Amino acid sequence: MAPTAEKKGIVLARIPGTAIPQAHTIFGASAFILALIIGCYGHYYKIVKNGVAGYPEEWFPSVSATTGDWYPERNVCQILIALTSGPRLILCYLWYLLVVRNVPANGSKGFAKFLFTNDVIRTVACGGWVYVTSSDDHDIHDIAMGVYLVCTIPHIVMTLKSAPQNAKAQWYRKLFAYTFFGALVPMIYFFIQHNVHRIPGAYTYYAFFEWSLIISDLAFDAVCMIDFETFEFRVVDIGMNGKHEEGSAFSDLKTFGGKKESGHALVKPADAVSFAADVYLGFIFWSMLTSLPLMIWYFPLWHMGLSGYEAFLFCNISVVLLGFNFLRRGIERSKGLVHLLSLVGVLSFKIFNPAERLMAVAAGVSLSLLTWGATLFGQRHQTGRAERGALALALGLVLHNVVKQAWWANNPIWPIMNETNGGQNLIGLGLGVLATLQVTLRKEPNVDEPKVIESAKKGENWVMAAVGAGGYLFCLHSMFSDSSTISRWSLGGYPNTGPQPVPGGLMVIAAMAAGLTLSSKRRTVTSLAWWAIGTAGLAVLHFIEGNVGFAGGVIFTIYALSLFPAIFRALGSQPPGRTFLLAMLVYNILALAHVWVVAYAFVPGGEVMRERTDYVLIAMQSCILIGIVNANPAAWIAVTEARSRAAFSAARLQAKVSLVGLVLASIGICWNRLPKSAPQPYHPEHKLITAGIWTIHFAIDNDMWNSEMRMRDAIRDLELDVIGLLESDLQRMIMGNRDLTQFLSEDLNMYADYGPGPTKHTWGCTMLSKFPIKRSTHHLLPSPKGELACAIHATLDVYGKEVDVIVSHNGQEEDLLDRRLQTTELGRIMRESDNPFLFLGYVVTQPGQGQEIYELLMDGGHVHDIEVSDWDRWCQYLAFRGVKRTGYARISHGGITDTEIQVGKYQLLEDHPTSWDKTQSIEDFKKEETYAQISEHQVPEGMRYPSIFYGEGIRKHRFHVFDRPYYYV
C-alpha cells in the first residue's frame, strides 16, 4: 500500500486531496442534520418519547431515535451514510499514506497499519449501528455502537500522535478531541439517571451530549482538510504519450481551495468559517441596532410624551472616536475583543430594570458600530477584504430577517425576550462568543495605511458619502429589518389584502438575495436609471394597496439591497471620524422624522410632520441619490493585484452560497408555518360568539418584556372567537418592526385583519376571528386636531350568516372635536348596516345618558350597550345589535398593559331577530333589550366564562370590578 511513482500520461483531471475529507464531512453531517430536521418535523412527539417519559419532560430526541426509528428520516440518514462510506475508507487510506510518508517522525509502518486497520473496523462498526437500528435488533445495535466507541479512542489518540506538525490543524484536532472525551462523562451520567434511576427528562440531556459526540467526531476528521492541502489525485491516461500531459484539455483544473490561473479563488474551509463568524457578528449588530429604538419607545409610551430616554438614540455618535488614529487602529487590531465587549447588548436580557437594560443595549450598539466602522475603514485599500466585510454585514441583515421570520417577527436575542416568552438569548450569546473567538484567533494580513486617503485623490466627497450612508442605513432599518414590513405597507381590507407575511416574507427575503446578487453590477446599481426604477417601486408601494403595491415593494427591495456594498465601501473610504458622525446624525434625523409622522400629538412641533411619511421617503431617497452619485464605481473600485481579485471572487462565492442557504431556510420556515386546519369557533353547539376588546400597548408589558405569549394564553383561556386588539401596529422602528398578528393568529388558529397599515399613520387596530372574514374596510376616522384614529369594519361568516364587527381606536381626551367626529362616523357605519353588529372599541367617555360621546355611539349607531349599569368604564366599550347577549365580564390585564380585557358572549339564534327597522325611533329600539340577569348555574356549561378567572385568577388575570361575570336571560 506504499505510494509509488506516477507513470507518464495525459492528466484527465486533478482532484484536490481536500475534496475527500470535504465529501466525508458534508455527507456525514447532512445524514444526521437532515434526519434531525425531518424527524422533528414529522415525528417529533414520537422520537422524543422513550421508556420513561415523553413530551414535555423529554423534548429533544436522541441520535438513535432520530436516525433509526421512522421513515423517512431513517432512510435519508442511511442513504447519506452510504455515500459517506466511500470517502471515509479513502480517508483511512490517505491517512495511512500520510503517516508512512513521515516515518520515522510519526511512528512506524506497523503503527500506520494498525491505525489503518482500527479505522476500517471503526467504519464498518459505524455501518453496523446505522443500518441495524435499535428497533431492528437492540443487542447488535449496541454492540456495533460499543465497537465504534472503543475504536474511536485509539483513532483519536493515534491520529494526534501521527499527525503532521501543522500547528493550526493540531489546535483544532485537540479542541475536538477534548470536547469528544469531555462529553462522555456527563453522557454516561445522564444515561444512568435515565436507565437506572428512570428520571423523566434525563434522556433529553443525554441526547444533547450524544449529539455533541457526533459533532466532535465529524469535526475531528474534518480537520484533515488542512493536512491534505498538499495532496492531489490525478486521473491519468497512461496509454497515451506523456509529453501531452500539461497540454491536456483537462490539465487546467486546479485544486479545490487553491487559486485558479485566472486569479480567482475558491473557498477554503477556514475562510468559510471565518466568513460565517463575520456574518453572525453582522446579525448581532442588526439585532442590537433594531432593539435600541424599541427599548427607548417603552419610556415615552408610559410617560405619554417625551421622557428624556430618547437621548440614547444618539449613542451612535460614538463613531466620532474613529477619528483618533490610535484608537481606530487599536479597535481594528483587537476587533475580536471589542466585538466580545459589545455582546453586553445581548447579555442585557439578564437585567430586569428597564432603564439599566436600555443603557446596556446602548453600550453594545456603540461598541458594535465602532468595530464595524474600524473594520470598513481598515479594509478600504484591500478590495477583496473590503467587499467581504460589506457582504458579511449585508448577509447579517438577511439572516436577521430569516431568524425573525422563524420567530414570528420577533428576534429571539432581543433584550425584550427571555426564556419565558420564546427568547433564545443564551444560545445567541454563546454563538456570539464563538464568533468573536474566531475573529480573535484568525490571522489577517497587515496593510500599512497610506498617509493620504486614497478617496481624496479620486475626487470623492466625504459629506456626500456620509449623507448617502445615513439615508441608506435608515432605509435598511425602517423597511428591511423584518420580512413582513413590505407586505404590511401594501395591505388593504379583505379581500384585497395583498400577500400575507407567509408567503410574502419569503418573497421579500428572495428579493433581498436577488438584490445582493445584483450588487456586483456596480455601474448598473449606482446609475441614475436604477435609482429611478427603485424610486418608482417605492412610490407604488406607498400609494397603491394590495398585490400591485407589494410588487412595487419587491422591486424596491431588490434595488435597495443591490446598493449595500457600494454605499458602505464608499463610506469606508472617507476620513472616518467626521464621515461616520455625519452619517449617524443623518440617520438619527430621519429616524426621529419617521416617529414624528405618527407621534406628532406628543412632541413639540409635531404638526409639521403629521402624516407625512411621503416627506420622509423623499428625504431618504434624496440622501441615497447623493450617496450613489458619490459611489460611482469608477471612483472607488480598485481591482489591482491578483490576490485582490481572488479575494473579491471568494467573497462573492461565499455570499451566493450563504444567500441560497438563507432562502432555503426561509422556504422551510414558511412551509412549517402554513396553517394545518381551518379555524373553528369554540362552542358551535350553542351558536356562541365570544368577543372581546383589549388595548395591548404594542405587545410590551409593564416590565419591558415581549408579551405576545402571555396575550395568547389569555385569549385562549377566555375562548375568544373574535377579539379587537388596539395599539397593535408594530411595523415601525420604535416598535422593532414586529407583527404580533402573525404569532397570535397562527398559534391560536384564527383569521386576522391587521387593520390600517404603517402608511396610514395610526397606532393600529387588529381583529382576530375564528369565523371567516368575507370582506373588510379600513377606516381613517376624522381627526382634524389630534392623533389619527383607525377602525376596521369587517363582515364575518358566523354559522352561515353575515355578522358585522367594528374594531376602533378613537382619539384622546384632550381632543373633543376629534372624538365627536370619529364617534359620529362610527355611528353612521353601524346604523347603515343591515347585518347583526358587534362593536369592540376605544371611545374615551364616561358611560350613561347625558354623555355626548356615549350617546353618539350607542344612539347614533342604533346599538345596545352590553351593560348599562357598569359605570366604571372610561375608554373601552362593547355594544351589539341583532344577536342575543348572554354574558359580560371584565378581566384584569395581568401586568401585560394598563388596560383590562372586556369580553361579551352572544348567541346567533334562528328565532332571534337579526335585522332592524331603520325607521324605528331610538326610544323604541332601546326598549327591545332588557338587562335581566341570571345566576351562573342557570347557564349551560359551554356558555360560561372559565372558572379559572375567579379569585386570584391565573397568571394575574382575574375577574375584577364585579369580581364575577354577568349572565343574561
Which residue numbers are catalytic?
A: 809
Measured distance CA(452)–CA(785) in Å, rounded? 56
CB-based contact 958:949 (threshold 8 Å): yes
Query: Alpha-carbon distance 382 to 561, whole Å?
Result: 22
Residues ≥6 apart with Cβ < 8 Å to 735: 294, 297, 698, 729
Cα–Cα distance between 580 and 375 in angstroms, integer? 13
Q: For the chain, give me the number of helices (H) and strands (E)?
A: 32, 16
Q: Is the peptide bond before 503 cis (omega within 30 degrees of 0)?
A: yes
Cβ neighbours around 531 below 10 Å, total? 19
Could you give the angle at the alpha carbon of 635 between the alpha carbons of 630 and 640, nearest 5°?
Answer: 150
- The torsion of the CA quartet 59, 63, 67, 69, rounded to 10 degrees, works out to -60
Cell reading at 65: 431515535
Amino acid in position 240:
M
The phi and psi torsions of 904 (rounded to 5 degrees) equal -120, 145
* SS3 call for 78: helix
Greatest CA separation for the chain: 110
Q: What is the grid cell recorded at 500?
A: 400575507
Which of 342-346's residues contact partners 24+ apart within 8 Å by CB, and which partners? 342/284, 342/288, 342/367, 342/368, 342/371, 343/284, 343/429, 343/432, 343/433, 343/436, 345/284, 345/288, 345/291, 345/415, 346/284, 346/287, 346/288, 346/413, 346/415, 346/425, 346/428, 346/429, 346/432
CA dihedral 770→776→777→779, nearest 10 degrees, is: -10
The CA distance from 863 to 880, in Å, is 5
CB neighbours of 793 closer than 8 A, spacing ≥ 6?
A: 776, 777, 779, 804, 805, 806, 829
The sign of the CA dihedral 381, 385, 387, 392 is negative
CB atoms within 10 A of CB 539: 17
Place of cell 348567541: 907
Please work out, in degrees rounded to the nearest 5, the angle formed at the alpha carbon of residue 442 by the alpha carbons of 436 and 443. Answer: 140
Q: Would you mind telling me the total number of residues written for the chain in this entry?
A: 969
Q: How far is it, in rounded angstroms, from Cα 475 to Cα 512?
A: 13
Is 797 strand, coil or helix? strand
Distance CA 496, CA 546 (A): 5
Find where cell 484591500 sits: 382
* Rounded to 5°, angle at Cα 253 from 251 and 254: 120
The closest of 208, 186, 253, 301 to 11, measured between CA atoms, is 253
Rg of the Cα trace of the chain?
A: 32
C-beta separation of 767 from 806 below 8 A: no
| Neighbouring-strand partners of residue 841 | 808, 877
8 Å CB contact between 636 and 455: yes
| Cβ atoms of residues 480 and 557 within 8 Å | yes
Please state, as a whole number, how many other Cβ atoms lie within 10 Å of the Cβ of residue 731.
25
